[in-house]
């Protein structure tokens, strides 16, 4: 390839990276990429079949990095190899911040890439312990490391690699007794039943239904009011824009999720039991409200501040009730626990990798108390 063609290709790649990392996939066009890169639309199609092709180029850059680096993990001890693994995760955010931003959308939009990265992470973790790992071990280690990295990259949370390494190897909680009959108790209180049946809530519920089934960008305000049985002017009595409407929905989902988990965890005997019960309830709640999970993931790229507040609200809830833990690192531990639930949600709802969450939660109890040492 000539120097000129190479330079043109690099312009397209760099420009698309900037656009895809600052906007939602649906809102970026080939014409915009070409305009910003200073090339014609025809030139674009010499290198890429369509917009998805150049989007996937960015994803493959990140995939190749993890594949190459995890396959290079070496070390005499488990601690050495785990240290290298965590260094690679941190390095990814330094070298590939924009690609990680793009990947977070792809994780939701193109789950085949999450399947590929998942396999690469499993390979990396297997190298740490020189053996195959279970689904629960993957969630305990990768769920923590990946979520902490995202929170560090986008929300300014300190990574605290050494403490994260110690927690992976030694656990989080002291070995409290767990009654799994209580953890999996099916007598659930549906906190949503007392919702007021008024115009505002009808609009919100219509939005939840439509955004969850069709996606935010495929739904307009007319669709929302039509579904709710109102005229379009009614929408603007309560909301100034579609973005504000989505923001309100995210806040509502956050409140309902936390209320559901809190209300149904009240009888748990100790903090470890409450945590395991919380993971179970998180999965139950979103299993019965699948639209909610879809909406929160998509909203990350539309009303990012509100989704950040969504996670901050969960973090505050953890900090308020975090007792009987082995380390003086409450924020880190809170985000590790959030990460385990977050990636269990991805595994269950997007990848369909979890059939028996009870078995995985029982295994997680072992790692949360003892860690993984061999």
Write the pLDDT tens digit of every residue in 18-65: 999 988 888 899 999 999 999 999 999 999 999 999 999 999 999 999
- Where among 133, 151, 166 does a domain terminate? 133
* Residue 247 structural domain: 180-370
Q: What is the mean pLDDT of the chain?
A: 90
Q: Write out the two tokens for 335.
A: 């985000």
149 within some domain: no
| pLDDT tens digit sequence for 240-298 | 999 999 999 998 998 888 889 888 887 667 889 989 999 999 999 988 888 888 888 77
Q: Virtual CA dihedral for 298, 97, 91, 73, nearest 10 degrees?
A: 50
**pLDDT exceeding 90 applies to what percent of the chain?**
63
196 and 109 in a common domain: no
pLDDT at site 196? 62
232 and 338 in a common domain: yes
243 and 125 in a common domain: no
Q: Write out the two tokens for 6.
A: 């190479």
172 within some domain: no
213 within some domain: yes
**pTM for this predicted structure:** 0.89
272 and 217 in a common domain: yes
CATH number, domain of 115, equals: 1.10.357.10
187 and 122 in a common domain: no
Residue of 223, 198, 226 whose CA lies nearest to 212: 223
142 within some domain: no
185 and 85 in a common domain: no
Residue of 88, 223, 77, 62 whose CA lies nearest to 145: 88
161 within some domain: no
pLDDT at site 5? 66
Domain count, the chain: 2
pLDDT beyond 70 at 195:
no
pLDDT beyond 90 at 9:
yes
Confidence of residue 4 (pLDDT cuts 50, 70, 90): low
Residue of 368, 362, 317 whose CA lies nearest to 182: 362
| pLDDT tens digit sequence for 202-234 | 999 999 999 988 888 889 999 999 999 999 999
- Where among 116, 133, 150 does a domain terminate? 133
């Amino acid at each position: 390839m000539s120097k000129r063609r190479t330079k043109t290709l690099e312009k397209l790649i760099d420009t698309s990276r900037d656009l895809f990392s600052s906007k939602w996939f649906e809102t970026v066009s080939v014409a915009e990429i070409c305009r910003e890169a200073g090339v014609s639309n025809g030139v674009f199609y010499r290198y890429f079949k369509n917009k998805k092709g150049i989007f996937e180029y960015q994803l493959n850059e990140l995939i190749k990095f993890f594949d190459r680096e995890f396959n290079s993990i070496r070390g005499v001890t488990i601690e050495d190899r785990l240290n290298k693994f965590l260094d690679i995760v941190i390095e990814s955010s330094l070298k590939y911040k924009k690609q990680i931003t793009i990947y977070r959308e792809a994780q939701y939009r193109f789950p085949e890439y999450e399947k590929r990265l998942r396999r690469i992470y499993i390979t990396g973790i297997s190298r740490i312990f020189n053996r195959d790992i279970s689904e629960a071990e993957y969630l305990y280690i990768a769920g923590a490391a990946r979520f902490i990295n995202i929170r560090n990259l986008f929300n300014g949370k300190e990574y605290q690699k050494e403490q994260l390494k110690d927690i992976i190897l030694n656990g989080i909680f002291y070995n409290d007794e767990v009654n799994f009959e209580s953890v999996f108790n099916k007598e659930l209180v549906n906190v949503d039943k007392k919702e007021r049946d008024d115009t505002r809530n009808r609009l919100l519920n219509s939005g939840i239904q439509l955004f969850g089934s069709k996606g935010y960008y495929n739904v307009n305000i007319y669709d929302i009011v039509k579904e709710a049985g109102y005229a379009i002017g009614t929408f603007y009595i309560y909301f100034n824009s579609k973005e504000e409407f989505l923001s309100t929905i995210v806040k509502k989902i956050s409140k309902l999720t936390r209320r559901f988990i809190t209300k149904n965890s009240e009888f748990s005997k100790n903090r470890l039991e409450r945590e395991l019960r919380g993971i179970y309830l998180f999965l139950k709640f979103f299993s019965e409200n699948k639209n909610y999970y879809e909406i929160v993931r998509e909203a990350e790229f539309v009303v990012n501040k509100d989704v950040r507040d969504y996670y901050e609200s969960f973090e505050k809830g953890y900090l308020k009730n975090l007792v009987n833990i082995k380390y003086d690192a409450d924020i880190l531990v809170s985000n590790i626990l959030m990460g385990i639930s977050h990636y269990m949600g991805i595994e269950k709802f997007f990848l369909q990798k979890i059939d028996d969450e009870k078995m995985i939660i029982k295994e997680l109890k072992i790692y949360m108390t003892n860690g993984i040492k061999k």
